[in-house]
C-alpha cells in the first residue's frame, strides 16, 4: 500500500502548451523528472505510454573525467524536462552517421518507457536494454521501447555507454585500466535500481538484455559481483564474453599508437593519458574513423580488457575453466538466462575485413576458399601463430563433400564457418556453464530461424535469405522505427512478421516477469530449459508450435570448435616443440621448454 500511495503522489498529469500533449511528473531520488504521455498502437491494440527521454545518470565524462570511471549524477537543482533524446556518444562514424543525431562526449543518458498504470496496480517488471555495435558504434535511441513496453506490460529502459577509445582505451596499468563503457552500463543499472520504483518499476524483477556487443555486455555484467541484487535475469542475443571480437590483446599498444598520432608521450602512462585528455574530441573521432591512421581493424582496436576489477579473468577462457571464481559463480548462478543466435549470423563474413570485397558477386572457388579465405579467418579469429594443420582441419570440416567444387556450396560453408567461429561456439560455452551452476535451472536457448521478408534494414546481402546478424532487432522492438535514422532504416514488415514480433515480445516479457518464457501468457510452446546433456532449444520460426522445441542444434560443429580443434592445435604445437608424452597429461619434461596450449 505504501508503494501505491507513493506512486499516486508522484505521478501528476498536467497539460502543456500544445493541444493533446500531456506530461507526467515523477519524483525520483535525484529530483523531479517530467516526461511525455503518448498513445501507442500495435497490431490494432491502443495503449498509453509515459516516456522519459534523455535522463542523465552520470556526470559528463569530459576533461579530467575522460578515460575515467563514471561519476554519479548530482541531484537535480530543478525539475528536468525529459522530453527528447539526448546526445549520442562519440564513436567511429559511418553506418549510423546522420544529420539528425548530435554526437558529444557528454552522452551518459538513459530513456524510460513506462506503460500507463493505475496507482493501485502492481509494480511492473523492468527490462534494461544495452545496445550492440562492436563496442565501437551505436546508441540507445534507435531502439524505441513503445511497443515492447505496452505489448508486454513492462518498463523498458535504454541506456548509453561510452564507445571505442572513449569507453575502452587502456594503458594496461592503473593509470587507465579501461572498461569505462562497462562501468557506464553498471552505473546505469544501479541508477535504475535506485530510481525505477518512482516510475512504477519493480526492483525485484529487473532483466538486462542486449544484442551483439550488447549481448556480450550483459554477460560481462552477469559475471561482475558488484551487480549482485541489481538485476535478476539476462537475455543475450548473439554474443557472449568469449567471442573473439569481444577483446583485443593489443589494447595498450593501440593506446600508444593513438598517443603517437596525437604527438603525446607514449612511454609514460600518466603523461600519455594526461595528454590524450587534452586532445580535441573532433581529432579523436578523425583518428578512429579515418583508415589512414591505422586504427581501424577487426577485432576493433579499443575493446573490453582484463582490468583486475570489473574483468578479473580472461573472458576468452572463463567458461573453459572447471569452475568460476567464487564471487563470480555466486552472481552468475543466481541469474536466469536466455541466450541464442540467428540462423544467418555468418553473414558478417561477407565483408571486406574477411576478404569479401563484393558480397553480391561473391562466388569463391575451392582454391580461394582453402588458400585465402580460411587462413584469413584463422588469423583474425585465432591469431597469428596457429599451425597450418588448423587450417586443414577447418577446410575439411567446412567442405560439402557431396559436391565440394560447387560455388554455392562453398559460399554456404564459408558463411556457416563465420557464424560458428563468431557466435555459435561461445553460445554453447555460456549455456553449458550456466546450466551447470544455475540454482534456478532457468537456462534457455533459442535459434531464430526464418527467411525474413522485410527489407531496408542495415545493408542487404543479395542471395542471402537467412536471418542475418542484428536482423532480430526489429522483432524484439515491434518494428518501431527510430525517427533519427528514418532515412537509413525503412523497415516494412509483413503481417506474419508483425505477429511473430508479438510472440517474441511475449516470450521475452514472460521471462522478465517469471524467469520462464512460457508463463504467464502461454503460447503453447512448452520451451524446455537447456541442459548440457539434452541441449533443448526453441527454433523461432514463422508458425511456432511445441514441435519447435528441438535438441542439439549444430552440436557437431560446436564440438569441433570447443573440443576437437584445440586438441589438434595443441598436438601440433607439441610436435613442433618436441614436447614429451607427459604433455598430454598437462606437464612437460623438465629438460623441454614447451607450452601445452597455442
Distance CA 531, CA 290 (A): 46
Distance CA 411, CA 20 (A): 55
Residue whose C-alpha is closest to residue 360's, from 488, 460, 465: 460
What distance lies between CA 190 and its chain's CA centroid? 19
Helix (H) or strand (E) holding 490: none
Distance CA 390, CA 378 (A): 8
Distance CA 274, CA 272 (A): 6
Distance CA 134, CA 244 (A): 11
- Catalytic residue, candidates 105, 116, 164, 212: 212
For the CA atoms of 247, 249, 254, 256, the dihedral, rounded to the nearest 10 degrees, stands at 140
- Catalytic residue, candidates 116, 211, 345, 370: 345
3-state secondary structure of 474: helix
Q: Is 212 a catalytic residue?
A: yes
| Residue 520: cis peptide before it, omega within 30 degrees of 0 | yes
- Do residues 511 and 336 lie in contact, with contact meaning Cβ atoms separated by under 8 Å? yes
Distance CA 334, CA 565 (A): 32
- Do residues 374 and 388 lie in contact, with contact meaning Cβ atoms separated by under 8 Å? no
Distance CA 508, CA 446 (A): 12
- Do residues 150 and 504 lie in contact, with contact meaning Cβ atoms separated by under 8 Å? no
Neighbours of 157 (CB within 10 A): 30
**Which string of b and e fits 473-493 if b means at least 16 CB within 10 Å?**
bbbbbbbbebebbeebeebeb
Distance CA 13, CA 23 (A): 6
Which residue's entry shows cell 550456466? 434
Q: Is 345 a catalytic residue?
A: yes
3-state secondary structure of 516: coil
Q: Which positions are catalytic?
A: 212, 345
Amino acid at each position: 500500500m505504501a508503494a501505491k500511495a507513493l506512486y499516486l503522489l508522484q505521478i501528476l498529469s498536467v497539460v502543456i502548451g500544445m493541444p493533446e500533449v500531456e506530461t507526467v511528473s515523477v519524483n525520483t531520488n535525484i529530483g523531479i523528472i517530467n516526461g511525455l504521455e503518448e498513445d501507442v498502437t500495435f497490431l490494432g491494440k491502443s495503449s498509453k505510454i509515459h516516456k522519459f527521454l534523455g535522463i542523465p545518470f552520470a556526470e559528463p565524462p569530459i576533461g579530467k573525467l575522460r578515460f575515467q570511471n563514471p561519476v554519479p549524477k548530482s541531484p537535480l537543482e530543478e525539475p528536468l524536462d525529459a522530453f527528447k533524446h539526448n546526445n549520442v556518444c562519440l564513436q567511429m562514424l559511418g553506418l549510423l552517421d546522420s544529420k539528425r543525431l548530435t554526437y558529444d562526449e557528454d552522452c551518459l543518458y538513459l530513456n524510460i518507457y513506462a506503460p500507463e498504470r493505475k496507482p493501485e496496480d502492481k509494480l511492473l517488471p523492468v527490462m534494461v536494454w544495452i545496445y550492440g555495435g562492436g563496442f565501437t558504434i551505436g546508441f540507445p535511441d534507435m531502439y524505441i521501447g513503445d511497443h515492447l513496453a505496452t505489448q508486454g506490460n513492462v518498463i523498458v529502459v535504454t541506456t548509453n555507454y561510452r564507445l571505442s577509445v572513449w569507453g575502452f582505451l587502456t594503458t594496461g596499468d592503473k593509470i587507465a585500466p579501461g572498461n569505462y563503457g562497462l562501468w557506464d552500463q553498471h552505473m546505469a543499472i544501479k541508477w535504475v535500481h535506485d530510481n525505477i520504483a518512482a516510475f512504477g518499476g519493480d526492483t525485484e524483477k529487473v532483466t538486462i538484455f542486449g544484442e551483439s556487443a550488447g549481448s556480450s555486455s550483459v554477460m560481462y555484467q552477469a559475471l561482475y559481483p558488484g551487480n549482485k541484487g541489481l538485476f535478476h535475469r539476462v537475455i543475450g542475443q548473439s554474443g557472449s564474453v568469449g567471442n573473439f571480437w569481444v577483446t583485443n590483446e593489443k589494447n595498450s599498444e593501440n593506446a600508444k599508437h593513438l598517443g603517437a598520432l596525437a604527438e603525446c608521450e607514449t612511454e609514460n602512462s600518466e603523461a600519455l593519458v594526461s595528454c590524450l585528455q587534452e586532445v580535441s574530441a573532433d581529432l579523436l573521432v578523425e583518428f578512429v574513423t579515418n583508415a589512414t591512421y591505422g586504427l581501424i581493424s577487426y577485432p576493433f582496436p579499443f575493446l573490453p580488457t582484463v582490468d583486475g576489477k570489473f574483468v578479473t579473468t580472461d573472458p576468452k577462457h572463463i567458461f573453459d575453466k572447471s569452475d568460476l571464481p567464487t564471487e563470480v559463480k555466486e552472481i552468475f548462478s543466481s541469474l536466469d538466462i536466455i541466450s541464442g543466435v540467428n540462423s544467418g549470423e555468418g553473414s558478417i563474413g561477407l565483408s571486406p575485413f574477411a576478404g569479401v570485397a563484393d558480397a553480391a558477386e561473391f562466388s569463391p572457388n575451392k582454391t580461394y576458399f582453402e588458400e585465402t579465405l580460411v587462413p584469413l579467418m584463422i588469423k583474425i579469429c585465432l591469431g597469428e601463430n596457429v599451425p597450418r594443420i588448423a587450417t586443414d582441419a577447418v577446410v575439411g570440416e567446412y567442405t560439402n563433400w557431396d559436391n565440394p567444387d560447387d560455388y554455392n556450396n562453398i559460399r554456404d560453408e564459408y558463411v556457416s564457418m563465420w557464424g560458428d567461429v563468431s557466435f555459435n561456439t561461445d553460445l554453447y560455452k555460456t549455456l553449458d556453464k550456466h546450466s551447470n551452476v544455475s540454482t534456478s535451472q532457468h537456462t534457455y536457448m533459442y535459434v531464430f530461424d526464418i527467411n525474413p521478408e522485410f527489407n531496408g534494414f542495415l545493408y542487404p546481402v543479395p542471395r542471402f535469405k537467412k536471418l542475418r546478424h542484428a536482423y532480430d532487432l526489429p522483432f524484439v522492438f515491434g518494428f518501431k522505427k527510430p525517427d533519427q535514422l528514418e532515412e537509413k532504416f525503412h523497415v516494412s514488415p509483413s503481417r506474419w512478421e508483425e505477429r511473430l514480433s508479438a510472440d517474441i515480445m511475449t516470450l521475452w516479457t514472460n521471462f522478465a516477469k517469471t524467469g520462464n518464457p512460457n508463463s504467464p501468457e502461454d503460447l503453447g510452446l512448452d520451451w524446455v530449459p537447456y541442459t548440457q546433456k539434452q541441449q533443448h532449444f526453441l527454433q523461432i520460426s514463422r508458425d511456432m508450435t511445441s514441435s519447435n522445441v528441438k535438441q542439439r542444434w549444430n552440436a557437431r560443429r560446436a564440438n569441433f570448435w570447443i573440443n576437437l580443434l584445440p586438441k589438434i592445435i595443441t598436438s601440433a604445437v607439441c610436435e613442433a616443440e618436441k614436447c614429451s608424452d607427459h604433455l598430454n597429461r598437462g606437464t612437460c619434461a623438465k629438460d623441454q621448454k614447451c607450452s601445452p596450449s597455442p
